[in-house]
Amino acid sequence: MSDARTEQKPSRPGAERLRPRVFAAWAVHAFTASGAVVGLLAISALIAGDLRLVLLWLGAALLIDGFDGPMARKVRVTEFAPRFDGAILDHIIDYLNYTVIPALIVYRFGMVPPGFEIPAAAYIMTTSLYCFGNKDMKTTDNYFSGFPAVWNLVILYFYLTTSGPWVNLTAIAVLGALTFVPLKFIHPFRVRALRSLNLLMTGAWGALTFTLVLASGPSLTPAKAMPVAYGAFLLVSVYFLGVCLWRSFRRPERV
């Protein structure tokens, strides 16, 4: 009987060296995929009627989405896990967490006037399809072209500002229409101009929103719970709005 070990083909040169890189690439894919689990937890909280917990889970999903792109580029997933399309995975999970769950929130928590719940949710979901299918979603200088279907953030603003149903419905109508308008919306991790400042402001915005959501309650609005943090949150929001408008009417940046 021959020794099976002597019949094995020699491993490809460099295979041992490549194995950690392949593992790292798949680990990043798994990290991205965890966003689907977080989305499920958000849906569970939605069914239970706990809007604050829904927002916290969507915040966790936003963190995952914010970090998985830089991680994927760092470990070169397209090179070391070429048979799996991380971009498609990212789009699927983003559509769940950025569009489907926010649409369900609008319906479940009555954020629009009575009778408009289904039309508003349907409008959110259908206009977002154009965003996710648009091959020119990113400009040459890495901004989003048109409203990038970040309805999770829109719902967050409805919650933090305690805006009324008609204001919410108007905002939904306008933002859905802006999906088709080539205004620039900033991607703080990809845009080069003012990147350090943008990242700093993004971190501040994240910390402020997390603090305000935690401090709020059924009978306590964020503005009353933490007025200073609420004012800072509005200032940071105005900064990002100003950057988007400023870049929309200037030449593309060099990349």
Does residue 7 lie in a domain region? Answer: no
Q: Is residue 2 assigned to a domain?
A: no
Judge whether 4 lies within some domain. Answer: no
CATH number at residue 189: 1.20.120
Position 99 in a domain: yes
Q: Which residues pair with 185 in a beta bridge?
A: 144
Q: How many domains does the chain have?
A: 1
> pLDDT tens for residues 89-122?
999 999 999 999 999 999 999 999 999 999 999 9
Q: ∠ CA 174-122-124 to the nearest 5 degrees? A: 40
Q: Give counts: helices (H), strands (E), the chain.
A: 12, 2
Domain extent, residue 196, equals 19-248
* Three-class secondary structure of residue 8 per DSSP: coil
Q: What pLDDT tens digit does each residue of the chain (255 aa) get? A: 444 444 444 444 456 677 888 888 899 999 999 999 999 999 999 999 999 999 999 999 999 988 888 888 888 888 888 888 888 999 999 999 999 999 999 999 999 999 999 999 999 999 999 999 988 888 887 788 899 999 999 999 999 999 999 999 999 999 999 999 988 888 887 787 788 898 999 999 999 999 999 998 877 888 898 999 999 999 999 999 998 888 888 766 555
Scan for tokens 């983003």, then name that residue. Answer: 94
3-state secondary structure of 218: coil
Structure tokens belonging to residue 233: 């949150």
- In this prediction, residue 9 carries a pLDDT of 45
Tens of pLDDT, residues 201-221: 999 999 999 999 999 887 788
CA pair distance 99, 48, nearest whole angstrom:
19
Q: Both tokens of residue 135? A: 């091959």
